[in-house]
């Protein structure tokens, strides 16, 4: 398993179809859930653009941002 299959925030499997496929994919949960830029910017620079957040972190973080 490579680091692209792990959430950079919690380390759990991110369930991203792109991460586990050597070929481009047509659909994945992460294509349908917007992630606010500020959440990406909160990750360490070396982890940005390397892997998706997991659905749990993306949902929890997205909810926290909306209610602030």
- Tell me: the pLDDT tens digits for 36-54? 787 788 888 888 888 888 9
pTM above 0.85, yes or no: no
The list of the chain residues with pLDDT below 70 reads 1-2, 61-68
Half-sphere exposure of 17 (CA within 13 A, CB side): 10
Beta bridge partners, 13, equal 6
- Total domains present in the chain: 1
The whole-number pLDDT of residue 12 equals 93
d(C-alpha 17, C-alpha 13), whole Å: 11
DSSP-derived 3-state class of residue 20:
coil
- What residue numbers bound the domain in which 59 lies? 3-67
């Amino acid at each position: 398993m490579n680091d692209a299959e792990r959430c950079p925030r919690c380390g759990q499997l991110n369930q991203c179809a792109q991460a586990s496929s050597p070929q481009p994919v047509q659909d994945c949960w992460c294509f349908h859930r917007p992630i606010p830029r500020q959440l990406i910017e909160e990750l360490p620079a070396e982890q940005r653009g390397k892997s998706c957040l997991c659905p749990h972190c993306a949902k929890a973080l997205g909810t926290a941002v909306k209610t602030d």
